[in-house]
Copies of this chain bind each other. A is one copy, B any other.
Amino acid sequence: MTKTTTSPTPARGPAEHDVRDQIVAAATEHFSRYGYEKTTVSDLAKAIGFSKAYIYKFFESKQAIGEMICTNCLAEIEATVVAAVEQADGPPEKLRRMFKAIVESSLRLFFQDRKLYEIAASAATEGWQSTLAYEQRIQALLRDILQQGRHSGDFERRTPLDETTMAIYLVMRPYLNPLILQHSFDHVEEAPARLSGLVLRSLSP
């Protein structure tokens, strides 16, 4: 939760990253206790013992802090998914593991902590840069598995790769998006196996 991967404001000195990390860590703690929507930057400044002006030196708005927390959350989900895919043998099993890891790690991160989920929901509603970038990286990972499977002869090559990638992404999307996921609880048990089974049948050469 404390990795900082991008810096939306220009660098101001060697200690910049450390202070940003410190603010993000404190804000994550504070939001997860009191909620994102209800907290102002003033509340946050008071709670973590910095001046409001000092926080604004590093983040231009509450959303900028939220974006960073969201980026970190999504990076954690993505790392779990990438690890699951890497550990699997062969493209079909990689795809199966990808479905399973997406559902499990999205559920874990978004719903263990209802208050952080609020940030993810804002991000998904408002199309924040952090979620768009995450969606693109998931699509890239998917395309990569598909390309490996075409190369190994496990998957068919007749359908254009872009079309296959987008179609499978649309099948995964309800389980990636936190706003949709909350309406799919009745199906999260069976969905990964059922959907990856269907997708693998659609890919047979």
Contacts and interface: CB of A to CB of B under 8 A. Distances in A.
Interface of A: 124, 156, 159, 163-164, 166-168, 170-171, 173-174, 177, 179-180, 183-184, 187, 190-191, 194-195, 197-199, 201-204
A177 B167 contact: no
Contacts of A198: 164, 167-168, 171, 198-199, 202
A201 B166 contact: no
Copies of this subunit: 2
Contacts of A163: 194, 197
Secondary structure type dominating chain A contacts = helix
Contacts of A204: 204
A145 to B, nearest CB: 15
Contacts of A202: 198-199, 201-202
B167 A195 contact: yes
Contact of A177 (B159, B173, B183, B194): B183
A204 B180 CA distance: 30
Contacts of A190: 166, 170
A170 B199 contact: no
Contacts of A194: 163, 166-167, 170
A163 B173 CA distance: 21
Nearest to A201: B202
